[in-house]
Structure 1
Amino acid sequence: MTRVLAVSTAFPPHRYMQQEITDDLVSHLPAGADGGLLRRLHAGAGVETRHLALPLDRYRELGTFGETNRLFIDLATDLAAEAVERALVEAGVRPEEIDLVVSTTVTGIAAPSLEARVAARIGLRPDVKRMPLFGLGCAGGAAGLARVHDHLGVRPDATALLVSTELCSLTLQRTDLSAANLVAGSLFGDGAAALVAAGGGRDSTSTAPVRTAPAGPTVVATRSRLYPGTEHLLGWDVGEWGFRMVLGPELPELVRLHVTEEIESFLAEHDLKPTDVTAWICHPGGPRILDALTEELGLPDSALAVSRRALAATGNLSSASVLQILNDTLSDRPPAGTTGLMVALGPGFASELVLLAWEE
């Protein structure tokens, strides 16, 4: 059994209204570019505000991929440490009690990886087990929790930490007028999230700090799924320019055709139907993805309200979004007996599902 003890988020201090970001991008479009299309995409993204790693005017000065990636390492390390320190306090867990740390990101490259850079700063043990994940994209937060659950299944006395850090704004290609880049520029924001979890055999009285977080769920089961023949539809084209978005327009239809069936099959294994789930922790890939899930699963409009609010408030945070949404869900204190489902989609094309339960 895996018990979620706490989830916390951290955001850069630079927060902008969507209209401010839109106006800035339009004002620096290459000659002859269609500013009206960019404005329509931004207006329809379901995003109201976003946090950015840098002040808006700094993005005009960004140079090579190497320079941008060095910024990523410095800023992401600080943001990850902030989220982790907050989550540990809320969980009532000392840094030296962490046995495993899983980190996920897809918006920068770091070796040593981010969790290694954070470890000494926050006081993790030198013998802590590390599992850095890269390439899972928006599915990374859910996949990270699933890998934490795998570890705690064989180490029930252990305590684990998951940290997701994404600085999506540093990947934006300001001169790329492809539909994928324009859509990405309308959706993605920056932020970090951290989750602390413990195995069922961990002594709940073993820590001195007072736990301040609301009671979290247990992980019941997980499922990972690759959809063959879809590898070209989502990911990065990486070159001297940095990360260039690959985003196929077919994704909402793939969600309708395959992901909703995957969700129904997964739930059926546990004698559940979509209507039995009352806490949906869905990655906000965009309004069309959320609409497809709602319609195909026969859910009420309110079912994915937390995901839509998160999209409006912070944009799509890639792998950190599902952890942010879980944090928001915990703040509402779901009653005992609540069934939850975490859903995230990423490159592969792939889905990650995590079944959650708030115990009676």
Structure 2
Amino acid sequence: MINPNCRSSDRCEASLTLPVSIHSLATATPLHVLDQTTGAQVAEQLLGGAFEDFARLRAIYGNAGIEYRQLARPVDWYTEPRSIVERTAVYLEVALDLFIEASEKALAEAGIAADEVDVIVTVSSTGIATPSLEARAMGRMGFRSDVSRVPVFGLGCAGGVSGLGLAAKLARVGQGATVLFVTVELCSLALRTENVGKADIVSTALFGDGAAACVIRAGDEGFTQIAGSAEKTWADTLDIMGWQMEPAGLGVVLNRAIPAFARKEFRGAMEEMLAPQNLRIDDVDRFVCHPGGAKVVDAIEAALTLPQGSLNEEREVLRRHGNMSAPTALFVLDRVRKEGLPPLSVMAALGPGFTASTVTLRSAA
């Protein structure tokens, strides 16, 4: 368990220097699959009347780099108006099921039981659950009654990376604590059919639903070590990405300038975040990035001066799942680690704030 009142300075200092490792990584998606052609047709049916030029906007679906996405409900469910009560009921049901599926897979891979978990960090920004998801999962999973619960809301697309960094810090100060990190997002529940704008067209072309989970522990070896983490938040950028509350629920805020912003700002931000770790961009063998969209992936490659195609695993996750918000970066990490992680990798994501987040990974060559 985490002990915030550590009384031995030597013991506290020793715990802070222990390596923190990821011991397992698992992903989960809902069963309902939406192909992009059908998605464009349904969007035109629901949203097309709000735009005189929807035929031109329809090209967004073809240019998104996405073939399939997974949704919390069958596509027909989204064609009817849904209240915030209905959306919340679906969130509580489906998000909990995905939380448990991803968690059970991660625990099984790590070879530990649920009652061996000391801390649970849950990141989710697409629904409201109080009690939070890990509390709702306790009876079904068998977590101990004294497990520490850390639910985190509002990180959006950066949540997979920021949450992983937070989980690593808790493992490091926890004197050998086992931390389960879980992120679940049901982006499809934010579909709105009233007062729609172009951001809604982009979101219906881009977002899907999914979950991921990791087991993190200090003091022994996993498949990679978390060597550091960092964040940078830009001033006066609250309008770039996020949610606004509406009568039907959460409405998307998504600025079309994100790819241009990333192209201009991301390299400098990365240099700032790596410098305290005595690292430079050229030291990194592989960037593992959240694929916010096809244009965002292109912009990150350009900003970091990476060879074209360096982020093809990111594009493949986007093609198969769309942007699932926070879990997406972990889907990419899962693909990269199965190929073999190089000695030094940096996970990176952009999210509401507007914030860039990184986690530095060191693995055996």
Q: Residue type of the partner of 2:98?
A: L
Query: Could you tell me whether the CA contact under 8 Å between 1:158 and 1:199 is conserved in 2?
Result: yes
Give, in whole Å, the separation in 1 of the partners of 2:78 and 2:97: 19
Q: Residue type of the partner of 1:125?
A: R
Indicate the residue corresponding to 1:342 in structure 2: 347
Aligned pairs (5 A) from 1:247-262: 247-262=254-269
Indicate the residue corresponding to 1:333 in structure 2: 340
Q: Give the counterpart of 1:191 among 210, 213, 219.
A: 210
Give, in whole Å, the separation in 1 of the partners of 2:271 and 2:300: 11
Query: Could you tell me whether the CA contact under 8 Å between 2:48 and 2:54 is conserved in 1?
Result: no
Give, in whole Å, the separation in 1 of the partners of 2:246 and 2:177: 40
Indicate the residue corresponding to 1:229 in structure 2: 236
Aligned-partner SS, 1:302: coil
Aligned-partner SS, 2:176: coil
Q: Give the counterpart of 1:83 among 102, 105, 114.
A: 102
Seen in structure 2, the aligned counterparts of structure 1 residues 27 and 88 have a Cα distance that, compared at 3 Å, is same
Q: Residue type of the partner of 1:225?
A: K
Indicate the residue corresponding to 1:108 in structure 2: 127
**CA offsets per residue over residues 52-89 of structure 1, 9 Å max, x none?**
11111111234211111111111110111011001110
Aligned-partner SS, 1:106: coil
Query: Could you tell me whether the CA contact under 8 Å between 2:232 and 2:273 is conserved in 1?
Result: no
Indicate the residue corresponding to 1:355 in structure 2: 360
Seen in structure 2, the aligned counterparts of structure 1 residues 181 and 199 have a Cα distance that, compared at 3 Å, is same
Deviates more, 1:269-278 or 1:46-55: 269-278
Indicate the residue corresponding to 2:24 in structure 1: 6
Q: Residue type of the partner of 2:259?
A: P
What percentage of residue pairs aligned between the two structures are identical? 36
Aligned pairs (5 A) from 1:1-360: 1-29=19-47, 31=49, 33=51, 34-200=53-219, 216-335=223-342, 338-360=343-365
Give, in whole Å, the separation in 2 of the partners of 1:334 and 1:48: 27
Cα RMSD of the aligned pairs, angstroms, is 1.6
Once the two structures are TM-superposed, the CA of residue 240 in structure 1 deviates from its matched residue by: 1.2
**CA offsets per residue over residues 293-345 of structure 1, 9 Å max, x none?**
1112110123211111100110001001111111111211225xx21111011
Once the two structures are TM-superposed, the CA of residue 5 in structure 1 deviates from its matched residue by: 0.5
Q: Residue type of the partner of 2:336?
A: T
Seen in structure 2, the aligned counterparts of structure 1 residues 172 and 37 have a Cα distance that, compared at 3 Å, is farther
Aligned-partner SS, 2:49: coil
Give, in whole Å, the separation in 2 of the partners of 1:126 and 1:62: 40
Query: Could you tell me whether the CA contact under 8 Å between 1:106 and 1:135 is conserved in 2?
Result: yes
Give, in whole Å, the separation in 1 of the partners of 2:137 and 2:286: 32
Q: Residue type of the partner of 1:181?
A: D
Aligned-partner SS, 2:326: helix
Give, in whole Å, the separation in 2 of the partners of 1:288 and 1:30: 23
Once the two structures are TM-superposed, the CA of residue 181 in structure 1 deviates from its matched residue by: 1.0
Give, in whole Å, the separation in 1 of the partners of 2:73 and 2:122: 22
Once the two structures are TM-superposed, the CA of residue 359 in structure 1 deviates from its matched residue by: 2.9
Once the two structures are TM-superposed, the CA of residue 30 in structure 1 deviates from its matched residue by: 5.2
Query: Could you tell me whether the CA contact under 8 Å between 1:218 and 1:359 is conserved in 2?
Result: no
Give, in whole Å, the separation in 1 of the partners of 2:355 and 2:77: 34
**CA offsets per residue over residues 173-198 of structure 1, 9 Å max, x none?**
13443111111111100111111111
Give, in whole Å, the separation in 1 of the partners of 2:351 and 2:68: 23
Aligned-partner SS, 1:232: coil
Aligned-partner SS, 1:317: coil
Once the two structures are TM-superposed, the CA of residue 91 in structure 1 deviates from its matched residue by: 1.0
Once the two structures are TM-superposed, the CA of residue 46 in structure 1 deviates from its matched residue by: 1.0
Gaps of 5+ in 1: 205-214
- Scaled by the length of structure 1, the TM-score of the pair is 0.92
Q: Residue type of the partner of 1:110?
A: A
Q: Residue type of the partner of 2:119?
A: L
